[in-house]
Structure formats: structure tokens, C-alpha cells
Structure 1
């Protein structure tokens, strides 16, 4: 007996896989868009913060002065003297000379811009010290209790040695007492001691002898300048006649401090 023919019922087509793929693609697109928007917003925020910081710094007198110092720096391969009365920019020199007090303020307020040593300013200030009645080739000095010396500047035999390279302001005042005498005037020299070659003259100051023939008139000569020093460089002060130097308190001194 023949059975009636019934065609096989077709299996339903599964739609779960395409739906899952669509959901995954939508999630991926939303994530990429959110990441892009977040990155753009972060960049805008960072840009606004930097602009605000730059605006605040531009209003600071100390920061403007540091910018001026940076413009005065010498290019590579030039002599170690950054500023010199004779052949350097006189405006930069006057700026450094007249802002010595501001430098101390900068050391306290902007230590990260001036020096890596944030605990103590790199500086030294010494008083004149007379240890002989004979002429000496290098003036002698002694430390003072009111001006502590940094451990990055050492003193020995009348000479200051820097242990950290950088931009330094070097200064000295020598007071002397003379009567009328023929010959060259009283001269103060600051030298850079170079072991492998002749000492290099950094600064020089002169003053004429007193016109009095009865008594010794007290006079003084001050010199100062900014120089690029390397680690291990040594500087010292010399005069034409050390026996004429006046060592009374505050009259004769020698020092330096690191600017940058």
C-alpha cells in the first residue's frame, strides 16, 4: 500500500550569529567615538592649562629677568667670559650688576629654574684677611658667620673652586690706602686659574693714588661680572701691592654666586 508523500520540513535559519556581530560592531563604534571625544577634550584641557601657566609666568618679574639672562648666554665655542666691560653687551652686564639683590630672591623663589641644589644657594662670600706684612701674589680671605658658603664652592689658599658648572656672578671689592707715588695706579685683578695654560684675566679695576702727601686716604675699587665656569675652575684676586690693602671689616671682600 502506498503511503502519501510528505516533503521534509525545512529547518529554521538561525539568526543569532548576525545579531551578535551587529551588537559587537555597534559597541566597538561607540567605544572608538567615546575614546576620540575623550582624547580631544583632554588635549583642549591640557592646552588651556598650559596657556594659563604661561600667562601667569609672563607676569612675574623674576621670570622676565631669567628670560633676559638666557638671552645673554654665549654660543658654543666662545671664550669662557660671558659678559665683559670691553667687548660684550653692556646692557646685559648692567642688568646682572644692578640685580644682585634680585638674584638672591630668585634663588629662594625659583630654585628649580636657577639651580639643581634646592637645599642651599650655591654662593660664597669672604672677607679680606691679612696674614703677612709682605707682598703676596694672591689675596687671602676668611669665611664669615653671616654668609655661609655652599659645599659646592670650596676655598683654599686664597682661591675659590667651583664644583658645579654653570653661570656665575663673580665680584670683589678691595680697599686700599696710599700716598702720592709715581708709577702705575692701584689695580685689582680677578683671574681664572688654568692648570694647563696661563691664568686668564677675567676682571680688572683701577684707581689712582691719593693726592695727599700727609696721610693715607682710604679708597676702594669694585669689580664684578658674569662668567660661564666649568666644574673644577678656580678664581682668585690679585692686586699691584698687597701691603696697601685695608682689611677693616666690610672694606675688602670677594665672592660669587651661581645664577643658572
Structure 2
């Protein structure tokens, strides 16, 4: 009698090899990470030692230079030397000159800043009469009580700024009025531009009075804030300069830095 075929039951696979593989992979990963960290730390240590070595070489070079300089300063005949003393002394002179130039530059900048803080960048001028003819630009003069600064220069009725910044510009002009009705007396402050037409910054108008006096005094005051560049020039003009009154404190022109 034939017996029915019964397949054999498969043996359970062993998990030992997979566990071993996982342990090996974990160990390899830890080793790689540790190797990377160690390499980075070694590079950092190497660079630190290299910097120390450079500093030591620099100090050693300075020591050798001083030693050679000392050898060159010995009296002749005391000890023979094969050093090029002229070259060494020339190098010393170069170092001293370089140090002197740096120190002079620092002192100059410090004095300039201190001077600006002690003396504000400002100028105030009083009107001055130059003949009886009409002039295109009003003339001015300095006064003993008014501030002056070398960062604002004056020439031929014009103020020139040597330091760029924000400035308040002002002017007052007193004038004699005429009884006959005419066009208003106008005061102008211009920014002088050498390569183009002068730019009007401010203007003030005042009508003539109906007084019968030979000189009924009136005044016009203008002022404003403007940003000026280094080298900019400003000046004052009026419609008729022959009517300007130059009494003390009546006509003036100035500016000061707001930075």
C-alpha cells in the first residue's frame, strides 16, 4: 500500500548571523565617527602649534636682529665680524622712520578731531560796504565775537565748506526803503556750482514802505537746513545792493554744522 507523501518541515533559520552583521555595522559607524572627530581635533591642534611656531620664529628673528645690531655697535678691533652692518643699520632706520610716520599720522588725526570738538564748524560774518556801485555778491567781514573755523573758508563774499555734512545757513539783510512803490526787495542765498548754473537755496521778500523818510529801514531774514558736499560754496545776493544798510548787527551771513 502506498503511503501519502508528507513534506519535511523546514528548519528554522538562525538569527545569529544577522545580529553579528548589525553589531559589525554599528561598530564600523562608531569607528568612522570617532575617526572623523579625531582628525578634526588633530587638525585644530596642528594649526595651533603652527601659529605658536610662527610666533616663536618671529621672536627668534627679532632676537637675532637685535643681537646682530649689538654686534655692529661694538668698537672696531674688539671682535671681528662678518655681518653687513650697513644693511642692519639701514633696516633699523627704516623701522624707526615707519614708526615715526605712524605716530605722526595718529597724532594728526587726534588733534584734528579734538580741534573740531573744541571749535564747532561754524562761521558768522557781518556785512561790509564796498563802494556805492551795485555788486552781484554781497561782501562780508569777520568779527571778534563771531565763531570761525578752518573747515569753513571765506573768499570774495562766498563761504566754502571743507567738511561735508548737514548745515544750517542763514542771512539777514537790512535795507533802505523807497517811498515810491516798486518791486519788492529780495534776498537770495545761492549754492555756487562751477560747471552749471547757480542753484537757489533760499529767498526772502519784503515790500518797500510808503514812508517819506530818506531811509526807512526794514530787514529780511532767511534760513534753512541743507546737506552740503565738501567744496560747496554759498553766497548772498539782493535785488539792489545799493540799498543795503551795513549798520552794526543789521546785516549778517553765516552757517554752522549740525552733525
Tell me the TM-score normalized by structure 1.
0.55
Residues 206 and 143 from structure 1, CA distance in 2 versus in 1: closer, same or farther, beyond 3 angstroms? same
Relative to its length, the structure with more helix (as a share) is 2
Counterparts of 2:131 and 2:154 in 1: how far apart (Å)? 19
Structure 2 segments unaligned to the other structure (5+ residues): 1-113
- Map of 1:134 onto structure 2: 133
Residues 214 and 118 from structure 1, CA distance in 2 versus in 1: closer, same or farther, beyond 3 angstroms? closer
How far did residue 116 of structure 1 move?
A: 9.0
**1:125-164, aligned counterparts within 5 Å?**
125-164=124-163
- Map of 1:192 onto structure 2: 191
What is the alpha-carbon root mean square deviation over aligned residues? Answer: 1.4
Q: How many residues align?
A: 146
1:117 is paired with a residue whose SS is helix
- Map of 1:178 onto structure 2: 177
- Map of 2:243 onto structure 1: 244
Task: Write out per-residue CA displacement over residues 107-127 of structure 1, whole angstroms, 9 at most, x where no aligned residue.
Answer: xxxxxxxx9921210000000
How far did residue 179 of structure 1 move?
A: 1.4
Residues 143 and 214 from structure 1, CA distance in 2 versus in 1: closer, same or farther, beyond 3 angstroms? closer
Structure 1 segments unaligned to the other structure (5+ residues): 1-114
The answer to whether the Cα contact below 8 Å between 2:182 and 2:208 also exists between their aligned partners in 1 is no
- Map of 2:233 onto structure 1: 234
Counterparts of 1:155 and 1:162 in 2: how far apart (Å)? 9
2:169 is paired with a residue whose SS is strand
The answer to whether the Cα contact below 8 Å between 1:210 and 1:216 also exists between their aligned partners in 2 is no
Counterparts of 2:149 and 2:213 in 1: how far apart (Å)? 44
The answer to whether the Cα contact below 8 Å between 2:160 and 2:231 also exists between their aligned partners in 1 is yes
How far did residue 216 of structure 1 move?
A: 1.8
Tell me the TM-score normalized by structure 2.
0.55
How far did residue 181 of structure 1 move?
A: 2.9
**1:211-230, aligned counterparts within 5 Å?**
211-230=210-229
2:175 is paired with a residue whose SS is strand
Counterparts of 1:244 and 1:207 in 2: how far apart (Å)? 13
Counterparts of 1:169 and 1:254 in 2: how far apart (Å)? 11
